[in-house]
Amino acid sequence: MFALYQGQARPGNTRQNLGLVRRAAAEAASAGAVILVLPELFISGYRLDGGLDSAAEPLDGPSVTELRSIAAEHAIALIIGLPEREDDRLYNTAVAIDAQGRLAGSYRKIHLFGPDETRLFTPGTEPRVVELAGYRVGLAICYDIEFPEMARALVRAGAGMICVPTANMQPYVSVPTTLIRARALENGVPVIYANHCGTIAPLTFTGDSCIVAYDGTDRARAGVDGEELLFSNTGSLFPAQEADLLRSTQLVDLRL
Model pLDDT for residues 154-209, shown as the tens digit of each residue: 999 999 999 999 999 999 999 999 999 999 999 999 999 999 999 998 999 999 99
Catalytic residue among 57, 84, 109, 146: 109
> What is residue 53's predicted lDDT score, i.e. its pLDDT?
82
End-to-end CA gap in the chain:
40
| Residue 163 among the catalytic residues | no
Q: What is the pLDDT of residue 71?
A: 98
pLDDT for 160: 97
In this prediction, residue 256 carries a pLDDT of: 42
Specify whether 86 is catalytic: no
Q: What residue ranges do the domains of the chain occupy?
A: 2-230
Report the pLDDT value the prediction gives residue 11, as an integer from 0 to 100. 92
Low-confidence ranges of the chain (pLDDT < 50): 242-243, 245-246, 256
Catalytic member of 57, 142, 146, 163: 142
Structure confidence at residue 246 (pLDDT): 44
Active-site annotation holder among 40, 57, 84, 117: 40
Asked about 146 being catalytic, the answer comes back as no
Fold of 2-230: Nitrilase/N-carbamoyl-D-aminoacid amidohydrolase (3.60.110)
pLDDT of amino acid 30: 98
